[in-house]
Amino acid sequence: MTFSIVARCEQSGALGVAVSTAVPAVGAMCVYVRAGVGAVSTQSWVNPYLALTALDLLEEGADAESALARALGGDPAADLRQIGVIGRRGHGAAWTGAQCTGWAGQRTGAWYAIQGNMLIGAATLDAMQAAFEATRPLALEERLMQALEAGQAAGGDMRGRQSASLKVARDEVYAWVDLRVDEHEDPVAELRRVFDVARQQVTPFVEGMPTRDDPGRALSPDVTRMLLMPPRSRAGATVRLRDTASDCVDELSRWTGIEFAPDRVAHNLSIYRSILTEIDKLRTLDLSDRHPAIVFDVTRLYRTGHASDMRDPAERA
């Protein structure tokens, strides 16, 4: 039901996982990374304890192959499982149980394990392998992202698309990168968009976080200034959030039928922003069992004629 890659960077020793599937929250179910120890993706009919056991064994000094074999030895339903494992040293290891839904298979290399089940075909894994091996000069998170994109472009999950995740650990216990898209029609493309924003807005923050060796570490003034800005004003911003001045003006113009001069925008927002907010809240309420229907028609205030002439003609007769 999933295609994934677990990998290690030969230069930095970073460890990570990239994965996508056609169910929600793949990052919560399948991804396990422990800094300085290993990375695991447990999939098909997921057993999280396989991942946790494998990581414990890696931490004790086992290589990926033996850690995987010992973990599977304690699972009576191993034929339903698929799992990829990479340690801080040694070759990648993978397992695809005989009862995994086809197409299912795996690819392993010196620095990675790639696996997938319920796929359109083997091309997904072949494309991921080629992409990862062709990007060795890049940071691990970028290599994983490109491998996932290649797998999706080659076919991916035969059922469609729904969630994707990218997680990388470096030297610290906390993650260097930890991103998820949990409900989206094109989750890998959305993960790329979020990843590109995070590299400019989150990575500088993580770079300034306390470490074990430097617990008093603090953010630089430039990063502090950046994070104090509204999200849409920061470097890398790609989404116009709804609660912005221009959105409020556009909505107010639509409701009233009036175009506002630029020099009147600030004044109008100071008057109407709170009203628009309250109307939005009221629109979400369902009071049909307590009160007759209420229609909010702001345009009535701006129609030609006095308010007293807004009554139905029959009422004025």
74-129 pLDDT, tens digit each: 999 999 999 999 999 999 999 999 999 999 999 999 999 999 999 999 999 999 99
Q: Mean of the pLDDT values across residues 6-13?
A: 96
Q: Where in the chain is the domain with CATH 3.60.20.10?
A: 2-201
Say which range, 90-94, 98-102, 152-156, 295-299, has the weakest mean pLDDT: 295-299
Say which range, 155-159, 175-179, 222-226, has the weakest mean pLDDT: 222-226
57: left (phi over 0), alpha (psi -120 to 50) or beta: alpha
Side-chain half-sphere CA neighbours of 239 within 13 A:
10
What pLDDT, on the 0 to 100 scale, is given for residue 223? 83
Contact 37, 55 (CB under 8 A): yes
What pLDDT, on the 0 to 100 scale, is given for residue 289? 59
Return the higher-pLDDT residue of 167 and 267: 167
* The one-letter amino acid at 220: S
Percentage with pLDDT > 90 across the chain: 68
What pLDDT, on the 0 to 100 scale, is given for residue 317? 45
pLDDT band with cut points at 50, 70 and 90 for residue 228:
confident
What pLDDT, on the 0 to 100 scale, is given for residue 242? 46
What pLDDT, on the 0 to 100 scale, is given for residue 300? 56
Say which range, 128-132, 140-144, 167-171, 246-250, has the weakest mean pLDDT: 246-250
Return the higher-pLDDT residue of 270 and 215: 215
pLDDT tens column, 302-313: 555 554 454 554
Of 101-105, 217-221, 234-238, where does the model show the most confidence? 101-105
Say which range, 18-22, 160-164, 199-203, 220-224, has the weakest mean pLDDT: 220-224
Which residue bears the tokens 């993978």?
94
Contact 155, 25 (CB under 8 A): no
Supply the mean pLDDT for the chain: 86
| CATH superfamily to which 2-201 belongs | Aminohydrolase, N-terminal nucleophile (Ntn) domain (3.60.20.10)
Contact 97, 80 (CB under 8 A): yes
pLDDT tens column, 12-62: 999 999 999 999 999 999 999 999 999 999 999 999 999 999 999 999 999
Q: Mean of the pLDDT values across residues 178-205?
A: 95
What pLDDT, on the 0 to 100 scale, is given for residue 222? 84
Return the higher-pLDDT residue of 98 and 295: 98
Taking each helix axis from N to C end, the angle separating 187-201 and 140-153, rounded to the nearest 10 degrees, works out to 160
Q: How far apart are the C-alpha atoms of 182 and 236, rounded to whole Å? A: 21
